[in-house]
Amino acid sequence: MITGDASYIKKINRSIILREIVKEGLISRADLSKVTALTRATISAQVADLIDEGLVVETQLEHFTVGRKPIMLSLNSEAGYALGIDLDFDHISFTVSNLTGTPITSKRIETNTTNYSEILNLLLEHIKMYKSEYAYSQYGIIGIVIAIHGLVGKDETIHYVPRLRWNNIALKSDLEKQIDINVYLENNANLSAFAERVYVHHETDNLLAATLYSGIGLGMMMNNEFFRGHDGFAGEIGHMIVVPNGIQCNCGNKGCWERYASENAIFRHLSETRNIHAVTYEDIQRWLDEGDKEVRQLMEHFIYYLSIGLNNMINMYNPDVLVLDSELLRMYPNSLDKIRENLNSSISHYRALQISSIGRNSAVLGACALAIKHFLEVPMLNLNYDFQQNNKNASVNI
Ligand SMILES: [Zn+2]
């Protein structure tokens, strides 16, 4: 008979074993026993269960010429699929990944509406389509995580989405009523930070990721958990005041950081001064190539104000890894060096400052990864995916 304690221990051991299998990609039972400090008998029993469940598969290594060919274990990446959704204000992105976080397919639809029931129906329509498309696999769609560009409470209700003008929306329960799949809601900046931790920065348990597009969002991973604050709304750092009595912000205050250090601030300024309806990255790249002084100066201001806010953030959180996600920073020569030069206070301490290598898909990929984490019930995931290879050649650590 398995007592409550024994079943709890079994669950914990399973989670430790699965985490190591995902992290290592291929690992033998003997090595699993070594890295987890669990007995060979425990490993064998747990692995037998995982193989029965179809989650783990055995592979015999062929390149060993001497002695017995070792039998290696790996996650059965095709046993089920995760659905990540990025619910932005004018479009929705869907990505399906396998269980090792490799994206299989992606789709983007323009929404042209902010009406909740219309968007709910669009979501349902697509979720049902993906559900039937992947029904052939053992577990089908194993979970859905939706990135919300606004405030998500700890109970996963949507408190407020500024650009959709949504208040107190029960999207999770509205979806779960109609589909038999677990749905989780998470702030988009949190999911970007999660993607950075899971796919890129395996070595850290303390990471901040700032997205600098329409505003400034901050996702915080501390001790491998989301840092959410009391209500779940922590990270609204774009509304930190950096210029007293500065530019008016939609939030009601003046001089908010995102009015100076988000890409939107630059696009808005250029659109107004040059009388162009929609300025594009290509326009800015061209102007920079042509040596446009105003655009260069705007970029220098962007970097200056960005550095001021980062200085404050660093002093507040003492991060290990700080990731910035911005196309403009990627385009502008030596942007990171310039920011580092500005962060020269003897008090500010951080180890690594980087521009995101994942880019704008980070929220939707973080959503897939979080669905996998919930499904496997592991404390953290380390996935490998080569973002430079244009969504190809993905694998877990091998
Ligand atoms: Zn504001």
27-52 per-position pLDDT tens digit: 999 999 999 999 999 999 999 999 99
Amino acid identity of 34? K
Given the candidates 1.10.150.530, 3.40.50.1980, 1.10.10.60, 1.10.10.10, the CATH classification of the domain at 6-75 is 1.10.10.10
Identify the architecture of domain 81-193+387-397 in CATH.
2-Layer Sandwich (3.30)
**Confidence class for position 347, pLDDT limits 50, 70, 90:** confident
Amino acid 13: pLDDT: 94
pLDDT of residue 179: 95
pLDDT digits (tens, 9 = 90+) for 271-314: 999 999 999 999 999 999 999 999 999 999 999 999 999 999 99
Q: CA-CA distance, 89 to 75, in Å (whole number)?
A: 36
Averaged pLDDT of the chain = 92
Q: Supply the pLDDT for residue 345.
A: 84
Residue 213 CA, ligand 1 centroid: distance in Å: 15
DSSP 330-342: HHSTTHHHHHHHH
Q: How far is the CA of 251 from the centre of ligand 1 (A)?
A: 4
Per cent of the chain over pLDDT 90 is 82
Q: Average pLDDT of 201-215?
A: 94
Beta-strand ranges (E) seen in 45-114 are 56-60, 71-75, 81-87, 91-98, 103-110
Going from the Cα of 227 to the center of ligand 1, the distance in angstroms, rounded, reads 21
Pairwise CA distance, residues 202 & 236, whole Å: 25
**111 C-alpha vs ligand 1 centroid, how far in Å?**
26
Helix (H, G, I), strand (E, B) or coil at 85: strand
What separation in Å is there between the alpha carbon of 160 and the centre of ligand 1?
15
pLDDT at 138: 97
**Across residues 315-341, what is the average pLDDT?**
95
Residue 55, CA atoms < 13 Å, CB-side half-sphere:
18
How do the domains of the chain map onto residue ranges?
6-75, 81-193+387-397, 201-360
- Distance between first and last Cα of the chain: 38
Distance between Cα 275 and ligand 1 center (Å): 25
Determine the residue type at 135. A
- Distance of CA 243 from the midpoint of ligand 1 (Å): 11
CATH architecture of 201-360: 2-Layer Sandwich (3.30)
Q: How far is the CA of 214 from the centre of ligand 1 (A)?
A: 12
Rounded to the nearest angstrom, the gap between the alpha carbon of residue 159 and the centroid of all alpha carbons in its chain is: 20
CATH topology identical between 6-75 and 81-193+387-397 = no
Which tens digits make up the pLDDT trace of 130-158?
999 999 999 999 999 999 999 999 899 99
**Cα gap 285→165, rounded to integer Å:** 33
pTM of this prediction exceeds 0.95: no
Q: How far is the CA of 257 from the centre of ligand 1 (A)?
A: 7
